[in-house]
Structure 1
């Protein structure tokens, strides 16, 4: 396992290591996308979802009457439908339904709450296409995991029906970066340290936003808001400095009376699920996430009989 993870770390560092103060955002985004290869036989159908560029990703034979809405990670600054295409395709296969990937607006051009506005527009569009809330699930990684949670909190605040469930990978729930894992995992995390996380948060929030705003940092939601959330599965690598973002959030949800399971995967790094070709743990985790969502969408995962 260590050799495979080390190879992934080397790939990621080869990208971060090229970035300097004068590296443009456009170059960073292109470099990040180049890390990932879209493979497999899942279809990719671009669509404007409520004015937001998106795409339907469907593994062969999956159903189209339910949907997983996916928000990619990348610190709200990089990441795209391309960088997460394979992850979304594997999630579609595991859950047995289509995935709607969302290319929400990114910072620094578009700061908070632009991504949240895009997410809400996509869900409104999806409801307009005839999808009931019970037939929609959310998923996301890192910043996209936090965005999925913020979106559900916003829906609750508006009195709208919430999706059936959410699957979150290395979710960024605390833009104030207060978690104890920034200290306890500092030596183990090969990529993300507190100063980097704080810089990304400032870039996304701008000078006037509050890093403890629950719509940006769901960890700071009220007990009533947390209790209203649907069942959640949070996966995180045990080597991550943002480990506390998942574990503390899950504890708060449970304490408020909601359902949230947090799984810390031994030896794994930030969003290890994005490397299914190299890491068997990534494949296993995505399969578990797909099964979780399928169970809460009221149907068996792909390849399993309905009960």
Structure 2
């Protein structure tokens, strides 16, 4: 008998527990928190995955989609840390990326002693703006000699080329106003600016990058699926392990991505690269 999708999610959610509001960083007079989704003790623990929510680095919360993403992956054996990070209203990039790195560092230093979680290998998973952060954590910064912060990344419908997104004509800028990229950086993208390059995923590709799973929909009108295709091609050319999954008929943050099939693809990817 086939179990309805809602019933499947409710059944598998019961196979994990959540520790909420764990502070991992103090900055600007306040704490940033993460929630730990732990597999049930009866399930073999497989590794740690940090999850970053979407929202254009302006809105959202670490609990977004947790019932269909973090909870499900935790019930499959992974400890999932859903991470709070600073929005651009508080601090422009690279603040959110620094928060992501600090969350991974905190887990590696503290998860074993405080929660019995082995964080010797860590994967990143994110959607939209969260996928952008996950990708940068998996790429590191070759310009500064910084190695990847995570061992693999599942990146859902993310932006990979800020330079291309900021390439508007004077007429387009007059009609449409400043690009979203200017909102993230506080200025137009400058290819001669090393900081800007370090925040542009396609510019940070090297042979040292961690394996990536890129997922997008072919009807995405927010972030063109061609960005994922170009990123995948560039990773393969640099001899980086990359897989590309394009969902037919799916738009940005389409409900189709929360079906069990897609979570199973994410699990299989982390099974291979976080073993």
Which of the residues 106, 111, 114 maps onto 2:92?
111
| Deviations 1:159-188 (CA, angstroms, capped at 9, x unpaired) | 446432111111221223449xxxxxxxxx
Shift of the 254–160 alpha-carbon distance from structure 1 to 2, 3 Å rule, reads: closer
Which of the residues 217, 221, 237 maps onto 1:237?
217
- The reply on whether 1:257 has 2:239 as its aligned counterpart is yes
Q: Which residue of 2 aligns with 1:56?
A: 36
- The reply on whether 1:143 has 2:143 as its aligned counterpart is no
- State how far apart, in whole Å, the 2-side matches of 1:50 and 1:117 are: 11
- State how far apart, in whole Å, the 2-side matches of 1:82 and 1:115 are: 17
Computed over aligned residues only, the root mean square deviation of the Cα atoms, in angstroms, reads 2.9
- The reply on whether 1:44 has 2:18 as its aligned counterpart is yes
More strand by share: 2
Q: Give structure 2 stretches of 5+ with no counterpart.
A: 1-11, 27-31, 167-175
Q: Which residue of 2 aligns with 1:288?
A: 265
Aligned 8 A contact 1:73 1:145 in 2: yes
Give TM-score scaled by structure 2 length. 0.75
Shift of the 132–104 alpha-carbon distance from structure 1 to 2, 3 Å rule, reads: same
Secondary structure at the aligned position of 1:270 is classed as: coil
- 1:149 Cα shift? 1.7
Which of the residues 65, 71, 91 maps onto 1:89?
71
User: Could you say which structure has the greater relative contact order, defined with CA pairs below 8 angstroms and 6 or more residues apart?
Assistant: 1
Within 5 Å, give how 1:137-286 maps onto structure 2.
137-154=123-140, 157-160=144-147, 162-178=149-165, 199-207=179-187, 210=190, 213-221=196-204, 225-241=205-221, 242-272=224-254, 275=255, 279=256, 282-286=259-263
Give TM-score scaled by structure 1 length. 0.67
Number of corresponding residues:
235
Q: Give structure 1 stretches of 5+ with no counterpart.
A: 1-38, 180-194, 299-307
